[in-house]
Chain A
Amino acid sequence: MWSIALKTLVADRGKLLTALVGVVFSIALMNVQGGFFLGLIGKAGLLVDHGQADIWVGHRQMHNVDFPRDIPRRWVNRIRGIPGIARAEPYLLGFTDMTLPSGGFEQVLVVGVDRASLLGNAWNLVKGRPQAILRPQGVILDECEVAKLEYPQMGEIRELGGRRSRIVGMTHGILGFLVTPYVFTTYERAAEYTKKSTDMCSYFLVELEPGADAKQVCAAIRRRSPELDAFPKNTYSWISVNYWMTRTGLGISFGAATLLGLLVGMIIVAQTLYAMVLDRLGEFGTLKAIGATERQICLILLAQAVLMAAVGSLIGLAVVAAIQHFFSTPWALIVIPWWLSLSSCALVLLICLVASLLPYLRIRKVDPMMVLQS
Chain B
Amino acid sequence: MIADAEYLDDDSQQPALCVRDVHKAYRRGTTVAPVLEGVNLVVKRGECVFLAGPSGSGKTTLLSILGCILSADRGKVRILDQDIDVLNQQQRTTLRLEQIGFVFQRFHLIRGLTALDNVCVPLVLRDAPPRRAECRGMELLETVGLADKASAQPRNLSAGQCQRVALARALAGDPNLILADEPTAALDAANGRQTMKLLRRLTSQEGKTTVVVTHDQRIFQFADRVLRLENGRIVEDPEPVPKTLAAISDG
User: How far apart are B80's CB and chain A's nearest CB, in angstroms?
Assistant: 14
Asked if A292 and B69 sit within 8 Å, CB to CB, the answer is no
By a CB distance below 8 angstroms, the chain A residues around B60 are 372-373
Asked if B93 and A291 sit within 8 Å, CB to CB, the answer is yes
| A147 touches B (CB below 8 Å) | no
CB pairs A–B below 8 angstroms (10 shown) = A3-B117, A10-B112, A283-B108, A286-B110, A290-B121, A292-B97, A368-B69, A371-B106, A372-B104, A372-B181
With beta carbons under 8 angstroms apart, the residue of B64, B70, B93, B124 that contacts A3 is B124
By a CB distance below 8 angstroms, the chain B residues around A1 are 124
By a CB distance below 8 angstroms, the chain B residues around A289 are 67, 69, 96, 102, 104, 108
Interface residues of B in 82-141 (CB under 8 A from A): 90, 93-94, 96-98, 100, 102, 104-106, 108, 110-114, 117, 121-122, 124-125, 130
User: How far apart are B93's CB and chain A's nearest CB, in angstroms?
Assistant: 5
Interface residues of A in 256-297 (CB under 8 A from B): 280, 282-283, 285-293, 296
| B159 touches A (CB below 8 Å) | no
| B245 touches A (CB below 8 Å) | no
| B63 touches A (CB below 8 Å) | yes
Asked whether A286 and B113 contact (CB < 8 A) given A291-B96, A372-B64, the answer is: no
Q: Bound state CA distance, A12 and B155, in angstroms?
A: 13
By a CB distance below 8 angstroms, the chain A residues around B117 are 3-4, 7
User: How far apart are A373's CB and chain B's nearest CB, in angstroms?
Assistant: 7
1/0 contact string of B17-32 vs chain A (CB within 8 Å): 0000000000000000
By a CB distance below 8 angstroms, the chain B residues around A374 are 104-106, 108
By a CB distance below 8 angstroms, the chain A residues around B105 are 372, 374
Most B CB contacts (10 A, CB to CB) among A10, A367, A371 go to A371
Residue of B nearest to A293 (CB): B93
Asked if B110 and A371 sit within 8 Å, CB to CB, the answer is no
Asked whether A4 and B69 contact (CB < 8 A) given A291-B98, A374-B104, the answer is: no
Asked if B64 and A369 sit within 8 Å, CB to CB, the answer is yes
By a CB distance below 8 angstroms, the chain A residues around B110 are 4, 8, 283, 286-287
With beta carbons under 8 angstroms apart, the residue of B67, B96, B113 that contacts A4 is B113
Interface residues of A in 1-30 (CB under 8 A from B): 1, 3-4, 7-12
Residue of A nearest to B126 (CB): A291
Leading 5 A-B pairs by shortest Cβ distance: A11-B112, A291-B97, A286-B108, A291-B96, A8-B112
Q: Bound state CA distance, A372 and B117, in angstroms?
A: 22
By a CB distance below 8 angstroms, the chain A residues around B112 are 7-12
By a CB distance below 8 angstroms, the chain B residues around A290 are 96-97, 102, 121-122, 125, 169
Supplied contacts A11-B153, A12-B112, 4 more A-B pairs, CB within 8 Å: A4-B121, A8-B110, A8-B112, A290-B121
By a CB distance below 8 angstroms, the chain B residues around A291 are 93-94, 96-98, 100, 122, 125, 173
Most B CB contacts (10 A, CB to CB) among A280, A289, A367, A368 go to A289
Q: Bound state CA distance, A369 and B67, in angstroms?
A: 10
Q: Bound state CA distance, A1 and B110, in angstroms?
A: 13
Asked if B98 and A7 sit within 8 Å, CB to CB, the answer is no
Interface residues of B in 130-184 (CB under 8 A from A): 130, 153, 169, 173, 181
By a CB distance below 8 angstroms, the chain A residues around B114 are 7
Asked if A8 and B113 sit within 8 Å, CB to CB, the answer is yes
Q: Bound state CA distance, A10 and B117, in angstroms?
A: 14
